């Protein structure tokens, strides 16, 4: 299929993990890398929408404190994880360090950035505590992040 994740057998992965999902070379020669940052086990568990929404805001804001190459951090519709889009070709260890540093920032955050009706389309749909719990759980499994399948 045309969409990389549709070709992934979601029954064989073991979350949490971070994996390179795709690399594209754009017409001008620029490279972008897409990483699957999976928080929960597909078809077994999911993140509630206020948690997804808050993690999206927090990660998008705080990750840019660690790298100018962050393009986007987008939630998966299945609510099991996110796609982290980065400029350039990245080694997995560097991505893991970026994810770790960003999640550690989330643990000490005092608010969800832009969680208001001026800067967000559903500003009331956030939970800092839920996002911090998810970040804490993900960080607790740091040694497992590079293992995608059992």
In the block, tokens 């029954």 appear at 11
Is pLDDT at 34 greater than 90 in this prediction?
Answer: yes
Q: What angle do CA 124, 129, 134 make, to 5 degrees?
A: 110
DSSP 17-52: EEEEEEEEE-TTS-EEEEEEEE-S-TTT----HHHH
Instruction: Please write the tens of the pLDDT for every residue from 57-109.
Output: 999 999 999 999 999 999 999 999 999 999 999 999 999 999 999 999 999 99
Q: What is the pLDDT of residue 108?
A: 98
Which CATH fold would you assign to the domain 11-140? Gyrase A; domain 2 (3.30.1360)
């Amino acid at each position: 299929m045309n969409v990389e994740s549709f070709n992934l057998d979601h029954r064989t992965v073991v979350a949490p993990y971070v994996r390179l999902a795709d690399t594209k070379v754009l017409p001008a020669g620029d490279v972008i890398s897409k990483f699957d940052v999976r928080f929960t086990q597909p078809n077994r568990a999911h993140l509630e929408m206020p948690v997804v929404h808050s993690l999206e805001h927090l990660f998008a804001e705080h990750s840019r404190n660690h790298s100018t190459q962050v393009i986007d951090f987008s939630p998966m519709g299945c609510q099991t994880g996110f796609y982290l889009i980065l400029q350039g070709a990245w080694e997995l260890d560097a991505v893991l360090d970026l994810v770790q540093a960003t999640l550690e920032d989330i643990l000490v955050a005092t608010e969800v950035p832009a969680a208001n009706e001026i800067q967000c389309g559903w500003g009331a749909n956030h939970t800092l505590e839920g996002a911090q719990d998810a970040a804490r759980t993900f960080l607790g499994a740091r040694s497992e992040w590079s293992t995608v399948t059992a």
